[in-house]
Amino acid sequence: MRKTLQEFREFAMKGNIVDLAVAVIIGGAFGKIVSSLVEDIVMPAVGAVGRADFKSLMIQVGDAKIMYGKFIQMCVDFMIIAMAIFVALKVLTHLRKKEEGTAAPPPPPRQEQLLEEIRDLLKKR
């Protein structure tokens, strides 16, 4: 039992698992922000031009209500969330490339330094 707990602890503390957990938590919060953007800003702006509340659109077939308006609203939410994530990833990628470009190149390995010294000494002879 103790060995199983130790293995689980090692698995749970691996860098990738912790990174994934953080990403899921941040993604959930980001989703709420974008949903608020859609519901509170984008859709009222669309409502100024035309119909804003897609959620109330439905077809009644007998006693059943087919709420196709909610589906349309979720599709709009998805498209905006996908676009926001795409833009965020593009910005992060651009910033990483910018950081990598400004970093000084690492020094050559010790073996190469020694070989260069030997080469320079042979040139002097």
DSSP annotation of 39: I
**What is the CA angle 70-71-72, rounded to 5?**
90
Q: What is the pLDDT along the chain (125 residues), one digit of tens a residue?
A: 788 888 877 777 776 777 778 888 888 888 788 778 877 887 777 777 765 567 778 888 898 988 888 888 788 778 877 887 788 889 888 888 877 766 677 888 889 988 899 999 999 87
DSSP annotation of 109: P
Domain boundaries, the chain: 2-104
Residue with tokens 């503390």: 13
Q: Which of 85, 90, 83 is nearest to 27 (CA)?
A: 85
Question: Cα separations (Å) of 65 from 4, 53, 69, 122?
Answer: 51, 17, 11, 89
Q: Which fold has domain 2-104?
A: 1.10.1200
